[in-house]
Amino acid sequence: MAKRRRREYLILLEKSKAAAETAIDQFNRVRHPYKNETTLILLANAWELLSKAVLVQMHKSIKKGNRDETISGEVAVSRLLHHKKLNQHQVETIQQIISLRHAATHHYLPGVPVEIIQHLLFFGCKFFRQTVQDNFPSHAKDLEQNYLSISFTDLTTYADRVQKLVSRVKKSQTDKKLVWLLERGIAFDGNSYITQSQFETKYRGKHRVMPYLALGKFTAEGDMVRIVPVEAPKNYTADINLRKGSSKDSSLPVVVKRTNLEEDYPYLTKEIGEKVNKSLNFVAKAMSSLGLKGDRRYHQKIRSSKSGSIQRYSPAALDRLRQKLKEDPEYDPYQNVA
């Protein structure tokens, strides 16, 4: 008896996952002169196949008219937006990948800053995993959770690099071509791309270019990713904190602050107790009750091979507890929650 042919959408799904992981593998190869091109070609292929797998599973046609050919990748991805399988920002990210892929396949790809490639690869793969999880949950486990890439360069972000490229579109033909390739991906209407001439018309006669491009909105509203290599000597801890920055700056600056644990968090729980004349249990409960434990301004938890963990507190934590006891001499942390 002939073996039954697997369902079409499952074949498309398996091929798409293989293409996505091979794209990552190509990007991480050492001394790869065609790295950007092969990465984009494979990642675009992965998205085209995944989009068609979702459409076929939904019983939607992927045929191009009455011909035996199937629709293009950009049309397939656009249809996922129409069917609410992807959101606008996800589609705009994927369409940039496909637009760059077309340039790499049919002509040549201009130099692409590493921040732009990393951004598109990171979010392209992140959205890929989410789409597989949402539509084929039993197949999501096949995708690896972590992929390692080494970086020794202090990089910026997609937004920062795009802003610099856009600032040079009137002076550099190479930068103008790359910005057009990104812009046409975002501006794809489901049927056709804008031409380079139509792209130039958007900002012709304008002093500034970015406000008139779809790229401007994309960089202002989208999340950014930045690869940050962290190297530290023994007994240092690395803290990465996200905080609201200026609305005028989307470059995601990174500030690295070196911390000396014994100087910045000099007190053990017992030592705090001795200074305020309270028991170890009282202090431990008070730190939790006052919301100091777990707050890096006041507390740091240190792993220890002997006791499992050690709790260390900053001078600010001691001052906060002293203030509480001064304001409320009858303070009982076992009954009060700050």
pLDDT in tens, 85-128: 999 999 999 999 999 999 999 999 999 999 999 999 999 999 99
CB 220 within 8 A of CB 244: no
pLDDT digits (tens, 9 = 90+) for 34-55: 999 999 999 999 999 999 999 9
- pLDDT at residue number 88: 95
For the chain, counts of helices (H) and of strands (E): 13, 5
Which pTM does this prediction carry? Answer: 0.71
**Rounded distance, CA 90 to CA 121, Å?**
12
What stretch of H or E contains 252? Answer: none
Rounded Cα–Cα distance for residues 42 and 37 (Å): 9
Evaluate whether 272 touches 322 at the Cβ level (below 8 Å).
no
Note the pLDDT of residue 181. Answer: 96
pLDDT category at 3 given cuts 50, 70, 90 is very low
What percentage of the chain reaches a pLDDT higher than 90? 62
Asked if pLDDT for residue 1 goes beyond 60, the answer is no
**Residue 162 half-sphere exposure, CB side, CA atoms within 13 Å?**
30
DSSP 158-174: HHHHHHHHHTTTTT-HH
Lowest mean pLDDT among 111-120, 204-213, 220-229, 279-288: 220-229
Residue 268 contacts by C-beta under 8 Å, 6 or more apart in sequence? 310, 311, 312, 313
- CA atoms of 168 and 219, how far apart (whole Å): 17
